[in-house]
Amino acid sequence: MGEQSIKDRITFHESLETMEVDFSRMTFATKEEIDAFYDEVDRRLAVSKRRWYFLVNYVDCVINPEVWSQFAERGKKANVSHGLGTVRIGAAAETRDTIRKRARTERFRANLYENRDEALFALSEMRKRRQVAGTDADSAYLSVEGINLHFGGITALQNVGFGVQRGEIFSIIGPNGAGKTSMLNVISGFYRPTSGQIVFEGKDRTQLPTHAVARLGFARTFQNIALFRGMTTLDNVMTGRLLKMNSNFLLDALYWGPAKREEIKHREYVEEIIDFLEIQAIRKTPVGRLPYGLQKRVELGRALAMDPKVLLLDEPMAGMNLEEKEDMARFVLDVNEEWGTTMVLIEHDMGVVMDISTQVVVLDHGEKIAEGTPDEVRTDPVVIRAYLGEG
């Protein structure tokens, strides 16, 4: 085992309600090694007699694929008995993939982060979410503050602000022309607001160009499908991986070595999404030939391939029949649950909105007229008036 004793690798941060487990530079080759470590973990947890957040450092940690299931089993056990939630740092690509795969089948959140800062931030967000119920724009994961948007003399949005918590399904509703899509365009960086601020993970990102916003972890789908019509389903979903690919065009041209390996690695990732969305059969069909409902699904796939932190959905169920709507709602919920992706959703179908969202904001004529849980919004007289008119 490593140069550090197991004891030193487990530290408790009382102030953060966090137990930090340091797997860095360790190698787990046999079941015995795993058990040795986790026995110590369990012992310490049992002594503490309370629940903790887990911060797990995977930097340069190697886990023998044969013992992965034992490893995961012990981890899960610890989590069930004493855990509040887990964030993971610096996992190598393979570890990362394995964790993701397990996260999907076992239904937990992968919460993989590049570095400690990110992880700590996420952790603090998780704690906040547990402590504070309700919304508080200052502490929100994504907060939109005082947005004004003008086109020439037309006012599309007027002083709109709200906060989105991490992991929630946040809906924007309102009558036609209320400025919902404009709002989504502002969030996705496609429109730059005339004034106001958008703060994401504590950083102001109002001035970033569209593609840089995507880099921060925003993905979206469009009201009128915006797929790349000349490309196949597979290629469309693969474009979602572009941000995660590092090869340059010279290597691409040779299609050799790292470029080829990378291509295949991402292909595997994309195939999982294709499986998840049940679109295997149309993998190599040009998307222009697909029916509407499937195109919507491919578009969702492309957004998911970006592995987004925030997924913006612009009327994902518009123009669908009941069955397709149910499918789509299931996908949205699954994504939210399995990846823990934060969702901002525009939808006209009130049934769906009320069923799946955790928070709802209502816009009318470019202004926010109500905000709250689905039940609060449903009974709000202002909202009813906006939808049904006076009297």
Partner 1 sequence: MLYREAGQFKTSYAADQAIFPILQDRWVFWGFMIVAFVVPPLTGSQYFMGPILTQLLVFGLAALGLNLLTGYAGQISLGTGGFMAVGAYACYNFALRMPELPLFVDFILGGICAAFVGVLFGLPSLRIKGFYLAVATLAAQFFLTWIFDHVGWFTNYDPAGVASAPARTLLGSWATEAGPLSFLAPINILVTGPNASPETKYLVTLAMVVVLALLAKNLVRSSTGRAWMAIRDMDIAAEIIGIRPLRTKLLAFAVSSFYCGVAGALYVFTYLGNADTEAFDLVRSFQILFMVIIGGLGSILGSFLGAAFIVLLPVVLNITASTLGEGTLPSDTLSNLELIIFGGAIIFFLIVEPRGFARLWQIGKEKLRLWPFPH
Partner 2 sequence: MWDPVFFLETLIGGLLSGVMYSLVALGFVLIFKASGVFNFAQGAMVLFAALTFVLLLEVGGDFWDWTAWLSLGFAVVAGGLFLLDRYPSLIKSDVLTPRRLAVAAAAIAVILLPLLLDGGKNMWRGVFITMLIFLVLTVGVRQPRAAAAVLLGVALVSFFAGEINFWRSLALTLLVMIVLAMAIENVVLRPLVNQEPIILFMATIGLNFVIEGMAQGVWDADVHALDIGIEDVPFEIGGVYISQFDIFAAVTAGLLVAGLAVFFSRTRVGRALRAVADDHQAAMSVGIPLENIWAIVWAAAGIVALFAGMLWGSKLGVQFSLALLAFKALPVLILGGFTSVPGAIVGGLIVGAMEKVFEVFVGIPYLGGGTESWSPYMLAMVFLLFRPQGLFGEKIIERV
Which two tokens mark 42? 């369990």
Amino acid at 98: T
- Binding flag, residue 223, partner 2 (CB under 8 A): yes
Q: Near partner 2 by CB under 8 A, which window of 64-72, 221-229, 230-238, 315-323?
A: 221-229
The 3-state secondary structure of 150-192 reads: EECCEEEEEEEEEEECCCCEEEEECCCCCCHHHHHHHHCCCCC
Site for partner 1 in 191-230 (CB under 8 A): 209-211, 214-215, 219-220, 222, 226-230
CB 367 within 8 A of CB 158: yes
Identity of the residue, 164 or 208, whose beta carbon is nearer to partner 1 in the bound complex? 208
Identity of the residue, 314 or 338, whose beta carbon is nearer to partner 1 in the bound complex? 314
Identity of the residue, 314 or 327, whose beta carbon is nearer to partner 2 in the bound complex? 314
Binding pattern for the stretch 185-204 against partner 2, x by CB under 8 A and - elsewhere: x----x--------------
- Binding flag, residue 222, partner 2 (CB under 8 A): yes
Rounded CA-CA distance 91/308 in Å is 18
Amino acid at 89: I
Identity of the residue, 91 or 172, whose beta carbon is nearer to partner 2 in the bound complex? 172
Rounded CA-CA distance 138/145 in Å is 9
> How many Å is the Cα radius of gyration of the chain?
23
Q: Name beta bridge partners: 147.
A: 160
CB 315 within 8 A of CB 352: no
Q: Near partner 2 by CB under 8 A, which window of 19-27, 201-209, 216-224, 296-304?
A: 216-224
195-200/169-173 β-pairing: unpaired
Q: Could you tell me the CA-to-CA distances from 255 to 128, 252, 261, 266, 305 in Å, in that order?
A: 47, 5, 9, 14, 22
Identity of the residue, 214 or 370, whose beta carbon is nearer to partner 1 in the bound complex? 214
Among 36, 226, 242, 264, the residue binding partner 2 under the rule CB under 8 A is 226
Site for partner 1 in 163-192 (CB under 8 A): 188-190
Nearest to 186 by CA among 217, 152, 161, 215: 161
Identity of the residue, 6 or 346, whose beta carbon is nearer to partner 2 in the bound complex? 346
Q: Phi and psi at residue 61, in whole multiples of 5°?
A: -90, 130
Which of partner 1, partner 2, none binds 40 (CB below 5-8 Å, type-dependent)? none
Q: Could you tell me the smallest distance in angstroms from the CB atom of residue 230 to partner 1?
A: 5
Residues that bind partner 1 (CB under 8 A): 188-190, 209-211, 214-215, 219-220, 222, 226-231, 235, 238-243, 245, 247, 249, 252-255, 259-260, 263-264, 267-268, 271, 302-303, 306
- State the residues that interact with partner 2 by CB under 8 A: 151-152, 181, 185, 190, 222-224, 226, 314
